[in-house]
Amino acid sequence: MEHTIVGYFLQFEIMKNLVEMASSTLGFNASSIIAFIIFLTASLILLLIAATIGGLGTFAERKISADMQMRPGPNRVGPYGIVQMVADFIKLFLKEDIVPVNADRFLFYIAPILAIVGVLGTFAVLPISSGLIISDLNVALFYAVGISSLVGLGIFLGGYASNSKWSMLGGMRGAAQIVSYEIPVILSMFTVILFAGGLSFGAILENQSGGPIGWYLFHNPFTFIAFFVYFIGILAETNRAPFDLPESESELVSGYNTEFTGMRYAFFALAEYMEVFVVAAFASALFLGGYKIPFNIGGDSLIGQVLQAGMFFTKVALIYYVVIWIRWTLPRMRVDNLMTLCWKYLTPIAFFNLIGSAVWIYYFGNKSMWNLIFS
């Protein structure tokens, strides 16, 4: 309980008094019910935030791409066109829900739900600040990688159920790509886990500090390489360009989501944008110090939490910008090049990193290269 959002709230006197008051009025120990209510409200708020993030992702994508192509982009609905995402959502919500006649109805219904459940499941371990984490599981990274593989399953089943050649090809490409690129991504995570000594985000962020010197990115040469391997891997796992083969417009119309309309399409689109957010958050927590602020200003108080959340969202937004930037600058890769890159380059490099980190720990312990240089 101590590593959850309930644990954070229960350390305040007001909450303790509230629990006591509820217990005395209800006549039994109300701490579990209060804990349940806190969990429920936090999850609902996070769900709303997640949906907003997905919407903001689509808006950012359109606006940044417009900026790079010297167009104004969406600018009619609201200031700078920011209400455009609400308009888009209403349009998708009101659209007719069409299921192709020859489609597999059951799989067609279940595929978008699987995709979005997989992404929302990872939000449970998202380290927004030291207190605002729904549950800092001991196996947080393991759990996140496991539950997010439902997205790959959703994409694959969506492609299969549509009974269309384009969707089928897109779904197969998506599944193959996600399963392959999981390996370098997990190995790069392990490089950091070796130094952190734990799979929970609390353990990973404990040894990092606010300044860039304390980040795992600049801890030693191996983690520095691991960050780039991880970054390329997450681009492929979230089907972003230059790895957007599952939905490549020029060959497959729209890939696995060609036949989906209305809310079902919106689920796939939201899942993609939220997944980019989640993997960017993991990148920031693993390599860039996550929510840590320099000199720990604010500490554990509520102001400190707000500052930490601001730090977290700033870092994630920067990574998100780079992801979109890459999408609108690089051309798409070919399928065989994609697999060659994964199996012949990224995976051996990731293994090399892992062994190198183990050797580093054997000789220097947990010291960073700055410790070795300046002492």
Partner 1 sequence: MFLQVVFILSALLTVVSAVMVVFTRHIMYAAVYLLGSLIGVAGLYLTLGADTLAATQLLVYVGGILIIMIFAIMLTGGQDFMKNSRKSFLQVPFMGNVKTYVFGGLAALVMGSIGTKLIMNVADRFSEHSEMLSYQSTIEVIGEALVTDHVLVFEISSVLLLGALIGAATIARPIKKQ
Residue found under tokens 């980040």: 215
By CB under 8 A, the residues from 215 to 244 that bind partner 1 are none
10 Å CB burial of residue 213 (0-12, 13-18, 19+) is: middle
CA-to-CA distance for 262 and 256, rounded, in angstroms?
15
Q: At what angle are helices 31-68 and 302-327 packed, to 10 degrees?
A: 40
If one asks whether residue 182 binds partner 1 (CB under 8 A), the answer comes out as yes
Min CB(149)–partner 1 separation in Å: 3
Site for partner 1 in 79-108 (CB under 8 A): 104, 106-107
Is residue 32 within the footprint of partner 1 (CB under 8 A)?
yes
Name all contacts of 245-253 with Cβ < 8 Å and 24+ positions apart. 245/170, 245/173, 245/174, 245/177, 245/332, 245/333, 245/335, 245/338, 246/155, 246/159, 246/170, 246/171, 246/173, 246/174, 246/177, 247/170, 248/170, 248/332, 250/332, 252/166, 252/167, 252/169, 252/170, 253/166
Under the binding rule (CB under 8 A), the answer on residue 6 touching partner 1 is: no
Looking at the Cβ atoms of 159 and 289, the one nearer to partner 1 is 159
By beta-carbon proximity to partner 1, the closer residue of 68 and 172 is 172
- Report, in Å, the least distance between residue 260 CB and partner 1: 17
What is the distance between the alpha carbons of residues 106 and 117, in angstroms, rounded to a whole number? 17
Specify the residue, 15 or 172, whose C-beta has the smaller distance to partner 1: 172
110 binds partner 1 (CB under 8 A): yes
Does 179 interact with partner 1 (rule: CB under 8 A)? yes
Q: Which is nearer to partner 1, 179 or 326 (CB)?
A: 179
Residues in 147-166 that interact with partner 1 by CB under 8 A: 147, 149-150, 152-153, 156-157, 160
Whole-angstrom distance, CA of residue 82 vs CA of residue 55:
10
Our finding on whether 139 is near partner 1 (CB under 8 A) is yes
- Asked if 23 is part of the footprint of partner 1 (rule: CB under 8 A), the reply reads no
- The site for partner 1 (CB under 8 A) is made up of 1, 32, 36, 104, 106-107, 110, 137-139, 142-143, 145-147, 149-150, 152-153, 156-157, 160, 172, 175, 179, 182, 199
